[in-house]
């Protein structure tokens, strides 16, 4: 326990925690965008969209070894812990950096910093707020910006993203996440010692390419509904979706 506390209190320890939690969140984004893209794969023979089936699968994943929803909530707890730790150590590192330079530089070094680096605190705060909003919007249905019914993922997406303000807001946040993610992935390479002058160009290119692919995948969903490229909302019976 003492070693963990010592690691957490050190600058390098905080950077490692930021990198590892960032890696966990990066992995989540990969899985999340893959799940979202099921909206383009159509429906089964009963007319149930595959993305609805996927949503139902997440609720029962782990059965019968684990109770229904246990694996999903376990993953959510890991993600929540990662988000809290990531935000905490990043803010602490920023405060330590500011304390180490109590006197402002005569010449600002902001021009030397990349735009994503300057936006990390802003984008991080925006993303944290968006996570809460997104859960209340599409998971619990507490915030309703269109028709909402639990389990009917396709219908809920189509109803919300047919509104240009909702779709536009999501697209804007996805762009911000992309900027944050691109810089974060590169910082993770540096913290974990993966960067090297011989492969930095490749790592930067790979970071940008993967980040761009993820964000375009996320943007494709609201954009497709907004521009009327998706079929009408599915009409199927409740017992077909629930299996009862």
Q: What is the 3-state secondary structure (H, E, C) of the chain?
A: CHHHHHHHHCHHHHHHHHHHHHHHHHHHHHHHHHHHHHHHCCECCCCCEHHHHHHHHHHHCCCCCCCCCHHHHHHHHHHHHHHHHHHHHHHHHHHHHHHCCCCCCCCCCHHHCCHHHHHHHHHHHHHHHHHHHHHHHHHCCCCCCCCCCCCCHHHHHHHHHCCHHHHHHHHHHHHHHHHHHHHHHHHHHHHCCCCCCCCHHHHHHHHHHHHHHHHHHHHHHHHHHHCCCCCCCCCCCHHHHHCC
Model confidence, pTM: 0.82
Output the tens digit of pLDDT for each of the chain's 244 residues: 677 777 677 888 888 888 888 889 889 999 999 999 999 998 888 888 999 999 999 888 888 888 888 888 888 899 889 888 888 888 787 777 666 655 555 455 555 444 545 567 778 888 888 988 999 999 889 999 988 998 899 999 999 999 999 999 999 999 999 888 888 777 777 766 776 777 778 888 888 899 999 999 999 999 999 999 998 766 665 555 555 4
> In the chain, what are the domains?
2-100+110-242 (1.20.1300.10)
Q: What is the pLDDT of residues 96-126, one digit of tens each?
A: 766 665 555 545 555 544 454 556 777 888 8
């Amino acid at each position: 326990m003492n070693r963990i506390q010592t690691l957490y209190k050190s600058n390098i320890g905080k950077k490692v925690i930021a990198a590892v939690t960032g890696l966990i969140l990066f992995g989540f984004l990969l899985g999340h965008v893959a799940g979202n893209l099921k909206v383009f794969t159509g429906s089964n023979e009963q007319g149930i969209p595959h993305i609805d089936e996927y949503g139902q699968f997440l609720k029962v994943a782990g059965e019968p070894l684990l109770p229904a929803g246990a694996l999903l909530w376990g993953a959510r707890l890991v993600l929540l812990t990662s988000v809290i730790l990531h935000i905490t150590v990043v803010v602490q590192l920023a405060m330590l950096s500011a304390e180490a330079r109590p006197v402002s530089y005569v010449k600002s070094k902001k021009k030397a910093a990349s735009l994503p680096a300057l936006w990390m605190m802003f984008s991080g705060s925006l993303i944290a707020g968006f996570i809460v909003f997104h859960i209340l919007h599409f998971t619990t249905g507490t915030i309703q910006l269109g028709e909402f019914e639990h389990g009917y993922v396709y219908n809920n997406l189509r109803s919300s993203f047919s509104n240009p303000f909702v779709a536009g807001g999501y697209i804007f946040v996805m762009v911000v996440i992309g900027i944050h993610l691109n810089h974060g992935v590169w910082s993770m390479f540096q913290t974990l010692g993966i960067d090297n002058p011989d492969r930095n160009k490749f790592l930067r290119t790979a970071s940008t390419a993967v980040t761009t692919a993820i964000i375009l995948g996320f943007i494709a969903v609201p954009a497709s509904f907004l521009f009327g490229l998706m079929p009408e909302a599915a009409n199927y019976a409740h017992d077909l979706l629930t299996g009862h």
